[in-house]
Amino acid sequence: MNLQKNYSLKNLNTFGVDVNAKLFLEINSEEELIEFFTSPLSKREPILIIGGGSNILFTKDFDGIVIKYSKRGINIISESSGEVMIEANAGELWDDLVTYAVKNKFYGIENLTLIPGTVGAAPIQNIGAYGVELKDILSTVEYFDLRDQSIKKIPNKECRFAYRDSIFKNELKGKFLITKIVLKLSKEKKINLSYKSLSEELAKYPQNEISIELVSETIKKIRGSKLPDPKLLGNAGSFFKNPEIDTDSFNTFIKEFPDAIFYKQENRYKISAGWLIEKCGFKGMRIGNVGSYEKQALIVVNHGNATGSEIKDFADKIVYEVKNKFDVQLFYEVNII
């Protein structure tokens, strides 16, 4: 282990915000985890665990220890004629895991192509895209319990997954470090085209020509047309969740705004946060070094050397204007530190 002092986090968050950690530690094994968390130092300083930094906004320096768990590796742990169980360590890049599955024709994860970040961060947020969420394919999560320094496993059904939510953001918040996950994928061809823009893009192909590779490449194309590369323009993807409202509230809302984009989910409705933000005039707007992305209003971008506070102030302004115009409350998808 190599503990570093006054460590710059600029390259460890996709907003590219230039802040420092009092101490920084990269850990590469379960043994190192136990060594650190049984040391006196782990009890003296506040601790922040990060992955790829793709869903975080630093508004100030971190006065404590930032820990990055970097153990990588992907393994097949069991296989039958119809399905395969894949184990991936938390330090693995999420998109590398997707690429591995696509290459081996293991179905179920291809719609999550090109999502930034690490494997370890995926269950916390219950990442999702193009009609698929992690909860649909996840079997178990293994985590290091910071309270008693033990390795524990939790099955899917106990993760309390919801829209961009899980037990890790609630009851277990601040008490864990995810070390690996196990996915259950199909070896039989199962293509999910439930997401409208994806199905429309693939409608020109005969059904028998729609392969796992084609789905993945099409999603790369769609994402590339909507989302900025954080290496070129600092961002954390979708800054806000799509707000959910009940049926009565939706009926009132849609009468006043009949052109709104929404998604029905059982007895609730999701309103497109991007549509709400765009209708408030933010799409492409820039204030100083911060703005809303010109191709997708849902994404807040760092045009230069914006501070985290400047980015948050801009996001707060969006929340205020959406609430004022539509009486709908937006919530952050990004974690504010």
Active site residues: 164, 238, 333
Fill in the amino acid letter for 212.
I
Strand extents, DSSP E, 109-218:
128-129, 132-133, 138-145, 150-155, 176-186
Q: Which residue has the tokens 């802040």?
A: 19
CB of 93 within 8 A of CB of 112?
Answer: no
Q: How many CB atoms lie within 10 A of CB 265?
A: 10
> Which of 241, 240, 268, 238 minimizes the C-alpha distance to 253?
268
Query: Phi and psi dihedrals of 244, rounded to 5?
Result: -105, 135
**C-alpha Rg value of the chain to the nearest Å:** 21
What single letter denotes the amino acid at residue 316? Answer: D
- Taking a C-beta distance cutoff of 8 angstroms, is the pair 100, 89 a contact? no
Tokens 């793709």, residue?
Answer: 54
Structure tokens, 323: 């609430």
147 near 118, Cβ under 8 Å?
Answer: no
Cα–Cα distance measured from residue 125 to residue 119, given in angstroms and rounded to the nearest whole number: 11
Classify residue 322 as left (phi > 0), alpha (psi -120 to 50) or beta.
alpha
Q: How many helices (H) and strands (E) does the chain have?
A: 9, 20
- The SS3 assignment for 161 reads coil
- Cα–Cα distance, 6 to 66 (Å, whole number): 11
- Residue bearing tokens 């800054």: 239
The C-alpha atoms of residue 321 and residue 328 are separated, in whole angstroms, by: 10
